[in-house]
């Protein structure tokens, strides 16, 4: 056990600090502090020794240098079981500090708030981060408090243990301190690397959401990220790992549409989607494509849900619904199922860069943010698409972009008719889509087909034409593109090349 007899306090934010200071004063702890924090403590009517009175140097360089001195760091790093250290303290008249409390300059906040480059640089804390690291290293003797998030833990020790700490407690606080310091340095590096582009992978995410389990009940899982910035949870059970995967897919898909659109997803793939003048009509037509797969699915809309729409939606069992808003009556109705997860989507800004664990490392890539190449869409057949076909081809291409490869999407009239997803053969994906459309009595006459990648042979356009498809959109790029083009020309079909492949695994 180590008794806190002296404390060095240097805090940028003073929120919650007064309670700590009063408790330390009650215990008779000798307080040391820097300028601004020292003034704060003095105004409380509590005695404090300024660091400059220990070092013999005032704060210099506009406050850039305050604590960087042997009489500060010697008193933090000294080992009470080391005779040489004890002698040095006595020889140079260095006080020992048993508690070091620091609140760092708000670097990340300054970046987020759009501070100027000079303002951001000035918010890189030097003395504070050094105090934290020194105290954490010497946790065998020193207690370090590196964030206001640890104030409650400190207060508990001060009140319940009269300021005495165990080595296990000090080690826990030290771990918290290195978490703070490493996160702080990662944030600084990320900012400085915006232009330098040093090829390293560094991420530090402190927000943690424990999940019920992973993809399966025997797998543990957590989500790291500020999920509350994306949506507000209005109802339902805890979000699961699989829910998050589907939510990510749903939000990525719905961003593609500006007109009123409803989509239904299952295992990250759309099993229903429609764009209509009203959201209610969009819901009804989205459900037509595959009402079987829709059961237990994820629903997403890009318009607020009103009561009429909610009444129809409520007839289906589903896990999650996402929308930018809900009418009062609509929300009350949807909340009738206590486990149903209802999310209100906030302004959506998904990261421009994606990463995932692979083998013994991490793979990083830009988000797929394109639909067509620099030159736009290129009609490669003699027959040009009609205005209606262009609309449907664009609609289908948005869907195929967000479906698991190999994938084929069949659509007509702003509505998904069927999709073949996750197949090892593009022909199998097409056959799956055709079979699904037929199983729900959906006619493919006059439909369009979208493919996530080029056709290496003409077999897909042949099968599609036999099913009733009139127009095709695909990336192009096969050495045998001409085979598919020739077949389309001979059979009065339209084909468009986008120049952009959309593999999704």
502 is catalytic: no
Helix, strand, coil proportions of the chain in percent (round to 5)? Answer: 40, 20, 40
**Dihedral in degrees, nearest 10, Cα atoms 247, 249, 250, 252:** 120
- Written in H, E and C, the secondary structure of 252-293 is HHHCCCCCCEEEEEECCEEEEEEECCCHHHHHHHHHHCCHHH
**Cα–Cα distance measured from residue 268 to residue 370, given in angstroms and rounded to the nearest whole number:** 19
The position carrying tokens 């009402």 is: 291
Count CB atoms within 10 A of the CB of residue 116.
9
The residue annotated as part of the active site, out of 267, 337, 383, 431, is 267
Structure tokens at 273: 């989607």
Element (H, E) at 416: strand 416-420
The residue annotated as part of the active site, out of 5, 14, 71, 137, is 137
**Cα–Cα distance measured from residue 52 to residue 47, given in angstroms and rounded to the nearest whole number:** 15
Count CB atoms within 10 A of the CB of residue 440.
13
156 is catalytic: no
CB contact at 8 A, 101 and 173: no
The position carrying tokens 């059961």 is: 295
Active-site residue numbers? Answer: 137, 267
């Amino acid at each position: 056990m180590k008794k806190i007899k002296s404390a060095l306090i240097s805090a940028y934010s003073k929120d919650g600090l007064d309670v700590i200071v009063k408790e330390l004063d009650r215990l008779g702890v000798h307080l040391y502090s820097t300028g601004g924090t020292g003034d704060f403590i003095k105004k409380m009517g509590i005695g404090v020794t300024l660091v400059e009175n220990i070092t013999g140097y005032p704060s210099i360089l506009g406050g850039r240098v305050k604590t960087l001195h042997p009489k500060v760091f010697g008193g933090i790093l000294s080992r009470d079981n080391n005779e040489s250290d004890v002698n040095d303290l006595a020889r140079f008249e260095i006080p020992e500090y048993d508690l070091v409390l620091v609140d760092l300059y708000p670097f990340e906040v300054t970046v987020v708030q759009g501070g100027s480059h000079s303002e951001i640089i000035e918010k890189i804390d030097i003395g504070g981060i050094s105090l934290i690291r020194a105290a954490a290293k010497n946790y065998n003797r020193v207690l370090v408090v590196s964030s206001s998030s640890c104030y409650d833990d400190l207060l508990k020790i001060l009140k319940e243990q009269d300021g005495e700490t165990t080595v296990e407690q000090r080690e826990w606080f030290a771990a918290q301190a290195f978490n703070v310091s490493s996160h702080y340095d990662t944030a600084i590096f990320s900012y400085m690397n915006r232009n330098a582009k040093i090829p390293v992978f560094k991420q530090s995410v402190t927000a943690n959401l424990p999940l019920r389990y992973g993809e399966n009940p025997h797998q543990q899982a957590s989500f790291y990220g500020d999920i509350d910035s994306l949506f507000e949870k209005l109802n339902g059970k805890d979000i699961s790992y699989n829910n998050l995967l589907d939510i990510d897919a749903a939000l990525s898909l719905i961003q593609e549409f500006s007109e009123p659109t409803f989509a239904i997803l299952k295992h990250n793939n759309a099993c229903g989607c429609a764009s209509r003048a009203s959201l209610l009509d969009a819901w009804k037509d989205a459900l037509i494509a595959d009402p079987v797969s829709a059961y237990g699915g994820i629903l997403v809309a890009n318009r607020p849900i009103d009561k009429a729409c909610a009444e129809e939606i409520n007839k289906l069992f589903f896990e999650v619904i996402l929308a930018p808003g809900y009418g009062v009556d609509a929300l009350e109705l949807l909340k009738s199922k206590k486990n149903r997860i209802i999310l209100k989507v906030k302004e959506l800004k998904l990261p421009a860069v994606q990463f995932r664990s692979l083998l013994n490392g991490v793979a990083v890539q830009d988000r797929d943010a394109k639909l067509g190449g620099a030159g736009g869409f290129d009609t490669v057949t003699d027959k040009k698409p009609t205005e209606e076909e262009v609309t449907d081809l664009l609609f289908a291409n948005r869907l195929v972009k967000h479906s698991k490869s190999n994938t084929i999407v069949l659509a007509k009239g702003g509505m998904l008719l069927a999709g073949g997803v996750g197949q090892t053969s593009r022909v199998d994906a097409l056959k799956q889509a055709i079979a699904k459309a037929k199983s729900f009595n959906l006619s493919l006459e006059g439909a369009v087909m979208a493919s996530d990648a080029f056709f290496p042979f003409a077999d897909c356009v042949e099968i599609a034409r036999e099913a009733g498809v009139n127009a095709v959109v695909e990336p192009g790029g096969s050495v045998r593109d001409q085979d598919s083009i020739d077949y389309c020309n001979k059979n009065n079909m339209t084909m468009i090349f986008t120049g952009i492949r959309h593999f999704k695994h």
